[in-house]
Amino acid sequence: MKLNFLMGMTVSLLLAFFINMLPWGNHPWIPDFILPVLLYWVLFFPEKISLVLFFILGLMMDIQTSSPLGLHALAYVVGSVVMSFWSRKLLTNSPIGQLLVVFQIFLLIHSIIIILFWLLIPSYVFSIYYILVPAIIELCIWPIVRKLLTHPGTFLNGRKL
């Protein structure tokens, strides 16, 4: 059981990281594919996830995106803490309520990244567009990630439970 969990988590995080590494440029409509996967693992397996993992993945994202070191790391850690704090409320909500809570967490994480980027880089022009658009796209990705990671066999085969 533990080996399957670790393998599933590792494969899903590596796949999300490799999708993030595709050369799409720095456009606001390019979401952070690691974020929904990380939040899924925090929501359903909070006792098996370490904040060190979030910090290391955030540092890897900072290096990959040429951002100031610690920017994504801080945002990922804050997002994971908020997700673990709201996990019981999130799991008892309706699907629409869950989407609204997850959307707030996505907005919080992107707000932290963009505001810190704006404060650290003097030539950066702040735009709410860089907060809203990735959060909305990640919200659209969230049900797919949740379905894929919860029931990988049924999702890939197209069978119903």
pLDDT tens-digit series, residues 13-31: 999 999 999 988 777 788 8
Distance CA 94, CA 77 (A): 26
Please report the sign of the dihedral spanned by the C-alpha atoms of residue 17, residue 141, residue 130, residue 117: negative
- Domain membership flag for residue 114: yes
- Domain membership flag for residue 27: no
Distance CA 21, CA 82 (A): 26
pTM above 0.85, yes or no: yes
SS3 per residue for 32-97: CCHHHHHHHHHHHCHHHCCHHHHHHHHHHHHHHHCCCCCHHHHHHHHHHHHHHHCHHHHHHCCHHH
Place of tokens 């590596």: 14
What's the total number of domains in the chain?
1
Model confidence at 156, pLDDT cuts 50, 70, 90, reads very low
Considering only CA atoms, which of 31, 8, 9 is closest in space to residue 20? 31
Q: What percentage of the chain reaches a pLDDT higher than 70?
A: 92
- Domain membership flag for residue 29: no
- Domain membership flag for residue 118: yes
- Domain membership flag for residue 31: no
Count CB atoms within 10 A of the CB of residue 29: 12
Distance CA 52, CA 43 (A): 16
Q: Is the pLDDT of residue 56 over 80?
A: yes
**What residue numbers bound the domain in which 104 lies?**
2-20+36-157
- Domain membership flag for residue 92: yes
Question: 44-48, 61-65, 96-100, 103-107 — which is least confidently predicted?
Answer: 44-48
Mean pLDDT computed over every residue of the chain: 88
- Domain membership flag for residue 77: yes
Distance CA 139, CA 101 (A): 10
